[in-house]
Chains A and B, each alone.
Chain A
């Protein structure tokens, strides 16, 4: 059985308790925060277990690598504290169930993982991916299942993720470029935290894009546009790769606007909040987030996660901001035309 590697002592000696102090959805001072995180780590009840909105932010705020959000998730599951309505959880578990309908391209040692997001079948096009495509995998059989931490269900992850890793093992690949943060987070963060062996080197697609753009630097024509980044919850699982956002924007000549809700302070797209808790939180977060983009004079809102894009595209467009995926933004910079008109 896989167990989370969590070190209580790291929390006891933590000078900042940033995991909870920095939380944007729970208001706690340092002393109270320490009290609560220790209660959680000792298996006691805490209001945090009931009020956490699953933004994943604490995984980034903790600079000691102690996985506070995985701990919260584990404890919620142990105590039977549901984050989402049962029907929503069931639906997501059903969606991710392997059905033998996966797709693979011409598999090489290096492969692109689309996880189970059909959007990538459209998005991944052009010269940026020339050196890997058509080496790709797509389908539930390669779905990281990390999304279930939103639903406080690590049991399903422990059941399915080892099978997914086996499926990769059978492909005999050496490097997997993960097109989604959760996918990368699964192999670079969550699997090791649970002691699962990952049989390949995971590469974050930001890093891949950055390197490809460097290779194609002669073809880059600066976009000269102002852009706001919609940072997804899942990027908190791989915060060490977040710097590539600014690096890529610099390469393609796009100005990242300075806004209130950026980097560690980024706000979620709100889709999960709607499912978990209803109207108010979703509406409040989306309104603050988009107003902030407008106030910062962003012309484009670029997305990393297709789910965020699905949730916010129409809303930002109605405010006069063009929604675009970061891949399409990069393609525009090398003179390619995205499939979806921006």
Chain B
């Protein structure tokens, strides 16, 4: 091992640093379609102090560092494009505190979604967090870093909106506290009433700092949960339907899906919403409000409530949902990738038509997966394609389809979510030059050596 390797070993311990080929192979890629690139080292620190030392070493040696959660993002955000050190956060997985009355949890930067869910279910059964439909190993910090969305997105917005404090190792190696935790032991706010500095880090994919601790807002967990599905064959009406559902303020999560298989889903758009309650009466009241709100579509025969068979309900109610994993194997070979731009709900009709057009053009199996964010303030429209990993031609067709999605999204006013490096470039090119300059000032001031996850948000 090189001098850098030995130094890293003195920081994290010999068992937690590697430059071996077999480790590099795995850390060179994610499950998506992006090309691989090997790191020089992989380290698994245990404390923020160790991360500080690693960052200082990287600055001194001008070597790249890439912070990594579970590496499940699919768009290559933790592929070490310029080699260097991958900092795997898995060992920093503690839940430090749960404040039940103020409804927040403070967790370490490598704590997973599944761990927090299980911890709350066991110790705080009346609390929950906005669980994304990612595998349970996905980390909370990485999810807020990419502005992920979860089961409470319709009610409370992006998961990053639910952050109520950050501890960050800055590119200089110093530690910064963001929000109320900068002047108090209480982590109830990431900004207000102070200047909100969380935007210097959230959405930057680790290019401006490494989250070592964060506070996340928790929300009431009701005893019961149910799901209904309203379907229509007219995509033009979906935005109106979402408007009516969100207007009632009765729904928890609102998802939309459209896909040709299995046959029962063919030809229709499925607006599914979840309702929660502590009693049957509460559930029924919410259901009635929503059914009534959609009644005009039933009367005009434009939409109706499908009968949800009991066998289907557990699948729909499970958190996280595993439907994406099932979709990944439609073509056999386990390949799945999607582009999920954040876009206005009123763009649903054209997005769904584009999805079908691309599926036909490139002969791919598809699914449109939508999550409403806020009360219809925006949506994540997932253009999802499934492919066989053993079929290079199908993989290439998928890449081409996704590239077309990227162009199309910008054309119709959308913004990339967890963009690939290429999409980041496209976004920067399209961005207001003054905004781009502001990002440049931030990046250059915080990370003058350009060591933090280089290749991402390359404003220079």
A14 touches B (CB below 8 Å): no
Cα distance, A279 to B304, chains bound together (Å): 11
Interface residues of A in 84-100 (CB under 8 A from B): 84-88, 90-91, 94-95, 97, 99
B165 touches A (CB below 8 Å): no
| Chain A residue, CB-CB nearest to B310 | A310
A318 touches B (CB below 8 Å): yes
B302 touches A (CB below 8 Å): yes
Asked if B303 and A94 sit within 8 Å, CB to CB, the answer is no
Cα distance, A279 to B305, chains bound together (Å): 10
Our pick among A95, A311, A313 for the contact of B263 (Cβ within 8 Å) is: A95
Residues of B within 8 Å of A277, CB to CB, are 298
Our pick among B234, B263, B269, B292 for the contact of A94 (Cβ within 8 Å) is: B263
Asked if B264 and A95 sit within 8 Å, CB to CB, the answer is yes
Residues of B within 8 Å of A97, CB to CB, are 263
Contacts A94-B264, A95-B264 given; indicate if A88 touches B292 (C-beta within 8 A): no
Residues of B within 8 Å of A307, CB to CB, are 307
A18 touches B (CB below 8 Å): no
Interface residues of B in 199-258 (CB under 8 A from A): 231-234
Asked if B233 and A278 sit within 8 Å, CB to CB, the answer is no
Interface residues of A in 163-216 (CB under 8 A from B): none
Residues of B within 8 Å of A84, CB to CB, are 301, 304
Say which one of A253-261, A268-276, A325-333 lies at the interface with B: A268-276
Residues of B within 8 Å of A279, CB to CB, are 287-288, 291-292, 295
Given contacts A90-B267, A279-B291, A311-B307, 14 further A-B contacts (CB under 8 A): A82-B301, A85-B301, A86-B233, A87-B233, A87-B306, A91-B231, A99-B263, A118-B311, A271-B307, A278-B291, A278-B305, A279-B287, A307-B307, A318-B280
Q: Could you name 12 residue pairs across A and B whose Cβ atoms are closer than 8 Å? A: A85-B231, A86-B302, A87-B231, A87-B269, A88-B304, A90-B267, A91-B231, A97-B263, A274-B305, A275-B307, A278-B295, A283-B288
| Chain B residue, CB-CB nearest to A275 | B304
Q: How many residues of chain A are within 8 Å of chain B by beta carbon? A: 26
Contacts A94-B263, A278-B295 given; indicate if A88 touches B288 (C-beta within 8 A): no
Interface of A, helix, strand, loop or mixed by DSSP: helix
Our pick among B287, B294, B304, B309 for the contact of A87 (Cβ within 8 Å) is: B304
B301 to chain A, nearest CB (A): 5
Q: How many A-B residue pairs have CB under 8 A?
A: 77
A315 to chain B, nearest CB (A): 9
Residues of A within 8 Å of B416, CB to CB, are none
The 7 closest A-B pairs by CB, nearest first: A85-B304, A279-B291, A88-B304, A87-B231, A87-B233, A94-B263, A278-B298
Asked if B263 and A90 sit within 8 Å, CB to CB, the answer is no
B268 touches A (CB below 8 Å): yes
Cα distance, A149 to B297, chains bound together (Å): 22
B179 to chain A, nearest CB (A): 44
Residues of B within 8 Å of A99, CB to CB, are 263
B266 touches A (CB below 8 Å): yes
Asked if B306 and A91 sit within 8 Å, CB to CB, the answer is yes
Our pick among B231, B265, B304, B311 for the contact of A276 (Cβ within 8 Å) is: B304
Residues of A within 8 Å of B292, CB to CB, are 278-279
Residues of A within 8 Å of B263, CB to CB, are 94-95, 97, 99
Cα distance, A310 to B312, chains bound together (Å): 11
Asked if B232 and A85 sit within 8 Å, CB to CB, the answer is yes
Our pick among A87, A274, A283 for the contact of B303 (Cβ within 8 Å) is: A87
Cα distance, A318 to B224, chains bound together (Å): 14
A131 to chain B, nearest CB (A): 29
Cα distance, A97 to B262, chains bound together (Å): 11
Residues of A within 8 Å of B305, CB to CB, are 274-275, 278
Chain B, 299-336, contact with A by CB distance < 8 Å: what is the 0/1 string?
Answer: 10111111101110000000000000000000000000
Chain B, 415-454, contact with A by CB distance < 8 Å: what is the 0/1 string?
Answer: 0000000000000000000000000000000000000000
Cα distance, A87 to B264, chains bound together (Å): 10
Residues of B within 8 Å of A311, CB to CB, are 307
Cα distance, A95 to B307, chains bound together (Å): 12
Residues of B within 8 Å of A310, CB to CB, are 307, 309-310
